[in-house]
């Protein structure tokens, strides 16, 4: 609802809302046409174009080594519009807004015997993550930054709760590694 109100005043938000019309219908068609049901699925989500640039080398290496089905999603129109013809992805889409209903429907569309999720940097979608974890997806957070100065009490609680869901967190620097240890995650 908030996005629809913002869409009245902001062209970029409006474009993102319009891009999500018939999102699930389009996804169903693309997945049926382009995914090989025998292959694992790798889902890469980037907020926008900058984060997607960080995902491209990972996608290229995985495509070379494993040759899985690859779905790429974006939150922003800038990422989607500039990348909608990216050759190494089988399916490119906006991510559905983060409600339990949308997350459940999206996860059910992309699940396979082996599904891997790569969220780039720090674009966290709690309902999508929860549903992916519930469906035994392997969750990875890539190229993330953990800034100690931003770890207020509430942020510590939020990040530690969310980061606990991930199977793998790939950090950018040794400082990030030290800062993530301060969250006292219950993982080995």
pLDDT at 7 over 50: no
Q: How far is CA 175 from CA 146, 147, 172, 178, 179, in A?
A: 8, 8, 8, 5, 6
C-alpha pair distances (Å), 59 with each of 74, 139, 186: 15, 15, 29
Rg (CA), the chain: 17
Instruction: Please compute, for residue 133, the number of CA atoms within 13 A of its CA located in the half-sphere on the CB side.
Output: 14
Question: Strands 168-171 and 138-144: what pairing?
Answer: parallel
DSSP annotation of 98 reads S
Which sequence spans correspond to the domains of the chain?
2-144
pLDDT in tens, 47-94: 999 999 999 999 999 999 999 999 999 999 989 999 999 999 999 999
**How far are the Cα atoms of 7, 41, 56, 71, 79 from residue 86, in angstroms, in the given order?**
27, 17, 9, 11, 11
Q: What is the pTM of this model?
A: 0.88
187 phi-psi bin (left φ>0, alpha ψ -120 to 50, beta other):
beta
Residues contacting residue 33 through CB under 8 Å, at least 6 positions apart: none
Phi, psi (degrees; rounded to nearest 5) at 116: -115, 140
2-144: CATH number = 3.40.50.11720
Q: What percent of the chain has pLDDT over 70?
A: 86
- Condensed to tens digits (0 to 9), the pLDDT of residues 123-143 reads 889 999 999 999 999 999 998
Residue 20 has pLDDT above 70, yes or no: yes
- Contact yes or no for 58/142 (Cβ under 8 A): yes
């Amino acid at each position: 609802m908030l996005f629809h109100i913002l869409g009245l005043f902001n062209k970029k938000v409006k474009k993102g809302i319009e891009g999500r019309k018939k999102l699930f219908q389009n996804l169903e068609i693309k997945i049926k046409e382009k995914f090989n049901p025998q292959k694992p699925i790798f889902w890469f989500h980037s907020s926008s174009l900058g984060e997607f640039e960080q995902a491209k080398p990972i996608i290229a290496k995985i495509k070379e080594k494993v040759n899985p089905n690859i779905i790429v999603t974006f939150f922003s129109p800038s990422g989607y519009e500039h990348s909608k013809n990216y050759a190494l992805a089988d399916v490119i889409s906006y991510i559905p807004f983060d409600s339990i209903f949308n997350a459940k429907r999206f996860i059910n569309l992309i699940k396979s015997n082996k599904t891997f999720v790569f969220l780039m940097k720090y674009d966290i979608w709690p309902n999508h993550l929860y549903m992916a974890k519930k469906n035994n997806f392997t969750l990875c957070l890539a190229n993330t930054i953990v800034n100690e100065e931003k770890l207020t009490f509430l942020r510590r609680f939020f990040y530690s709760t969310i980061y606990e869901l991930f199977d793998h967190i790939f950090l950018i620097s040794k400082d990030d590694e030290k800062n993530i240890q301060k969250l006292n995650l219950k993982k080995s």
